[in-house]
Amino acid sequence: MEITIIGAGLAGCEAAWQAAAEGCTVKLYEMKPQRFSPAHESEGLAELVCSNSLRGAGMNNAVGCLKEEMRRIGSLFIEAADATAVPAGGALAVDRDEFSAYISKKIEQHPNIELIREEITSLPTEGSIILASGPLTSDALSDELAKLTGSEHLYFYDAIAPIVEADSIDYSIAWRASRYDKGGADYLNCPLNEEEYNTFVQALLDADKVEGREFEKLIHFEGCMPIEEMAARGPQTLAFGPMKPVGLDDPRTCRWPHAVIQLRQDNKHASLYNLVGFQTRLTYPEQQRIFRTIPGLQNARFARLGSMHRNTFVNAPNCLTKTLQLKNAPHITLAGQISGVEGYVESAACGLLAGIFAAYRMREEREPLPPSETALGALLTHLSEAEAENFQPMNVNYGLFPPLQLKRKMKRADRRLAMAARALEILPSWWQPIAEKREGRRHE
Ligand code: FAD
């Protein structure tokens, strides 16, 4: 009953904690302090590499719901966060050193976990392995993973375009069509006349941008170039690129507009749409300000804003089973950012599931999948059911949850609270049997 975990970051520590709670023996490998990724600085486990915020605490935000589920399950990540919280308004933020020290101590003291400070440079060919080496996984390990997934399914950067909530789009302006009516009316199209286009391009050029960190400057921008860089190449570059209007008759004018921004359905429930080709390094406030000048998006609510980061992750819908195993090497389970989730909390949540799943497999029991109505289940479902062709890492959000069956109209804020209430009500049907089995094993 031994599980090997590579990487003692957010996902790896949570996976180790859960697998150990399931009665497994865990060997947890961490390459620090022998070697540091370009973003890691401290020797401690579960290091927060950037912000000290674990985002919204309230149920109006899906990450608040995810954290509450994890809290009810006995997640080490949340236990440490609650114990080391600092004042942060409506968010849960932590003292990063205390947070890391709390988790390090718990892991080091656990009788079922052996922490080994050593870099793993090749993927074991047998045993039960959880790979949780994070978004900055070293080249040697990435090369091995690429061999198992096929290099076209392993990415080294995320070029994330903003996503808007479908019910915040103005459908009196945006219209549904595909270019030259080919392949159904799959896209929503927002038209810009010449003046609107010129103003938009100028706003992109003048906007505040996020500077990439030193190790992120190697990005190959061709093919996934940020829109502001394209705009800087010439005033009409965007109109001949991601904003080209050809084949798109605006039903209000029966003509092609000067430029068009296309939105593509982003989730099964059609509650989210992404701005096609709009990966960007503009700051978040600038994105909200400028993208709301697009006709049809004047009241847009953004489920996710654009970004470009160094990030190693697999094309989860193509490469992973529903239980996070590599399809081509099922003895390896992926956890954390490398599996295609995005964010500190989501990485830890993924580690939590990976630890439980791996333990069940060791006992030759079927892995318990969390219901898709829960935040944990919604996150997992996204990994297996997102559209593989345009897969990008995703923070948890209510657009990933199955819609509510509503008998009467409900305000958006109330809908979110109702989704959270449904999640927390359903959670015990999944968690209780796991907890009872754990309790039973403790008394054996
Ligand atoms: P990590 O926490 O990175 O853990 C991986 C661990 O594996 C590390 O300790 C590493 O040393 C170890 N390791 C790697 N390779 C090996 C090996 N071969 N052998 C042994 N050990 C190994 N998310 C947010 O929510 N908020 C943010 O502000 C934020 N900022 C980010 C900034 C940067 C620069 C990056 C790259 C990502 C950021 N993220 C942020 C995204 C993501 O949430 C974090 O990277 C998160 O830490 C991912 O958790 P993880 O467990 O997958 O990986």
Integer Cα distance of 427 and 374 in angstroms: 6
Verify whether ligand 1 is closer than 6 Å to residue 344 (CB atom).
yes
CB 187 within 8 Å of CB 266: no
* CA 48 – ligand 1 centroid, Å: 8
CB 396 within 8 Å of CB 353: no
* Cis-peptide into 33, omega within 30 deg: yes
The DSSP H or E segment spanning 349 is: helix 344-362
Verify whether ligand 1 is closer than 6 Å to residue 136 (CB atom).
yes
Verify whether ligand 1 is closer than 6 Å to residue 9 (CB atom).
yes
Is 355 annotated to bind ligand? Answer: no
Question: What does the mean pLDDT of the chain come to?
Answer: 93
Closest CA to 396 of 444, 348, 329, 330: 348
Q: Give residue-wise pLDDT tens across range 256-296.
A: 999 999 998 887 788 889 999 999 999 999 999 999 999 99
* CA 178 – ligand 1 centroid, Å: 39
Integer Cα distance of 158 and 393 in angstroms: 7
Is 324 annotated to bind ligand? Answer: no
Q: Which atom of ligand 1 is nearest to the CA of 32?
A: 11
pLDDT-derived band at 215 (thresholds 50, 70, 90) equals: low
Verify whether ligand 1 is closer than 6 Å to residue 6 (CB atom).
yes
Q: Give residue-wise pLDDT tens across range 60-84.
A: 999 999 999 999 999 999 999 999 9
**Nearest C-alpha to atom 29 of ligand 1 is from which residue?**
50
Q: Which of 3.50.50.60, 3.40.50.300, 3.20.20.140, 3.40.50.150 would CATH assign to domain 2-151+313-442?
A: 3.50.50.60
Q: Which atom of ligand 1 is nearest to the CA of 54?
A: 25
Q: Give residue-wise pLDDT tens across range 16-52.
A: 999 999 999 999 999 999 999 988 989 999 999 888 8
Verify whether ligand 1 is closer than 6 Å to residue 413 (CB atom).
no
Q: Give residue-wise pLDDT tens across range 241-255.
A: 999 999 999 999 999
Strand 91-94 relative to strand 25-30, pairing: unpaired
pLDDT-derived band at 434 (thresholds 50, 70, 90) equals: very high
Measure the CA angle with vertex 204, ends 312 and 181; round to 5°: 80
pLDDT-derived band at 213 (thresholds 50, 70, 90) equals: low
Verify whether ligand 1 is closer than 6 Å to residue 117 (CB atom).
no
**Nearest C-alpha to atom 3 of ligand 1 is from which residue?**
134
Verify whether ligand 1 is closer than 6 Å to residue 91 (CB atom).
no
Integer Cα distance of 401 and 382 in angstroms: 9
Residue 418 has pLDDT above 90, yes or no: yes
Q: Which amino acid is at 211?
A: E
* CA 125 – ligand 1 centroid, Å: 24
pLDDT-derived band at 152 (thresholds 50, 70, 90) equals: confident
Verify whether ligand 1 is closer than 6 Å to residue 29 (CB atom).
yes
Verify whether ligand 1 is closer than 6 Å to residue 379 (CB atom).
no
Site to probe by mutation for ligand 1, drawn from 133, 141, 346 as the one with most ligand atoms within 8 Å of Cβ, is 133
Flag the least confident range among 122-126, 221-225, 268-272. 221-225
Verify whether ligand 1 is closer than 6 Å to residue 395 (CB atom).
no
Name the residue ranges covered by the structural domains of the chain: 2-151+313-442, 163-305
Higher pLDDT, 326 or 51: 326
Higher pLDDT, 104 or 90: 104
Q: Which of 2.40.30.260, 3.40.50.12780, 3.50.50.60, 3.10.180.10 would CATH assign to domain 163-305?
A: 2.40.30.260
* CA 158 – ligand 1 centroid, Å: 14
Residue 160 has pLDDT above 60, yes or no: yes
